[in-house]
Amino acid sequence: MAAIFHGFGPAAAALSSSSSFDSKRFQLPSLKSQTERKGSVLVVRSDGRVIPGSNPKGRSAGKLVTNAVAAKADSSATATASKPGHELLLFEALREGLEEEMDRDPTVCVMGEDVGHYGGSYKVTKDLATKYGDLRVLDTPIAENSFTGMAIGAAMTGLRPIVEGMNMGFLLLAFNQISNNCGMLHYTSGGQFTIPVVIRGPGGVGRQLGAEHSQRLESYFQSIPGIQMVACSTPYNAKGLMKAAIRSENPVILFEHVLLYNLKERIPDEEYVLSLEEAEMVRPGEHITILTYSRMRYHVMQAAKTLVNKGYDPEVIDIRSLKPFDLHTIGNSVKKTHRVLIVEECMRTGGIGASLTAAISENFHDYLDAPIVCLSSQDVPTPYAGTLEEWTVVQPAQIVAAVEQLCQ
């Protein structure tokens, strides 16, 4: 049941008719049922299985990542030798996606600070400048407003630039360009211009980076009409979302997280593109729906381990698409579990969680047995002290407590 079209996977297609999860459905019967596609691109369903038998998203069953910062290659060493695919870190996955797209389409170019000769401050564009030249991987001066504007101007003529903000927080300087020109030009020109630009960069609370370098810009950008926002959380979806974002005709903001760059995972060798509007089912369950994205996914999975031991069965969905929300997947999950907990790293006020709460209660109000609980970061500038910083973001213990309270 994996009809695939236009490079976008069906949004939990199997769930549209039934309201209960069937674990059998997670086995994609065969990929040969794909309709004709160019090349060998695989489009993957939201539950993530690409090849029956391989387990790129092994988190669903037993192995939960306890350290959200860097996955140590522990027991995977023995088992992975025979598995298909290759192992890499998240920033390498991003680079792979980027490189594949740059190979495929000569109009794709990168611009940002230190992306060229330096290789990218998080090594996402390492060695790309030597391969593609200085014009295609452009080192810009520290002028976010204008190089973002430049990327948008170039996109108006047909190039597909990727703007890297060294830290998402710096993109606040380019807010005018992103909001007015990037988001609105397609509309105000009556459809004459498309802006296929990708704006990406690491954000989120890191390791004691200080208030100005620990910003979560999802909440500021979310009301800009005309842009799409996605947040990646694993090497697998990082590469897929990067490719999808580059191929999309709309401006896409890809949110990465500073602490997730060294996550290691096994990803397929074949080319694959994920859907930008789709959420990812991390762990199916029955009792409560936990919606999360980016780094909080790992805190949630850690809490889920505890919850399972306590007898709860949480359903964890990585929403991935921050604008627009994948209300289809979320709705089906809410219909099943009737309880929602949102765990996010955004601020409490006006964050993604706030919008998601509103959207869910507007659309699925009748399906809810309890009010939606939203756990978000505190409305404070991120402090430098380690202990304080820890308490700015949501910790697994708080997630467990919230679930217990909701599921009474």
When the beta carbons of 31 and 154 are compared against other proteins, the nearer one is 154
Please tell me whether residue 41 binds other proteins under the rule CB under 8 A. Answer: no
**CA 292 to chain CA centroid, nearest Å:** 10
According to CB under 8 A, which residues from 211 to 270 bind other proteins?
Answer: 225-226, 228, 248-250
| Residue 208 contacts other proteins per CB under 8 A | no
Q: C-beta of 264: minimal distance to other proteins in Å?
A: 31
Query: What distance in Å separates the CA atoms of residue 93 and residue 237, rounded to the nearest whole number?
Result: 9
118 part of the interface to other proteins, by CB under 8 A = no
Of the two residues 265 and 344, which places its CB atom closer to other proteins in the complex? 344
Q: How far is CA 356 from CA 110, 224, 292, 397, in A?
A: 32, 16, 10, 22
Site track for other proteins across 328-367, x = CB under 8 A: x--x--------------------------xx--xxx-xx
Task: Give phi and psi for 84, each to the nearest 5.
Answer: -75, 165
Q: Which of 270, 278, 235 is nearest to 31 (CA)?
A: 270
Listed as own residue / partner, the contacts of 38-41 with beta carbons closer than 8 Å and 24 or more positions apart are 39/271, 40/270, 40/271, 41/7, 41/270, 41/271, 41/272, 41/273
Q: Which residue, 149 or 169, is less far from other proteins as judged by CB?
A: 149
Binding residues with other proteins: total (CB under 8 A): 69
CA pair distance 341, 287, nearest whole angstrom: 11
362 noted as active-site residue: no
Q: Identify whether 6 is a catalytic site residue.
A: no
User: Do 91 and 122 touch, CB atoms closer than 8 A?
Assistant: yes
Residue 207 Cβ, how far from other proteins at the closest point, in Å? 31
Give the containing element (helix H, strand E) for 252: strand 252-257
Strands of the 288-292 sheet, one edge to the other: 280-283, 314-318, 288-292, 340-347, 373-377
Q: Does 147 bind other proteins (CB under 8 A)?
A: yes
Out of 213, 287, 299, 328, the active site residue is 213
* Catalytic (active-site) positions: 144, 213
Residues that bind other proteins (CB under 8 A): 1, 3, 5-6, 8, 10-11, 13, 16-17, 107, 109, 135-136, 138, 140-141, 143, 145-159, 161, 176-177, 180-181, 185-194, 225-226, 228, 248-250, 276-277, 323-325, 327-328, 331, 358-359, 362-364, 366-367
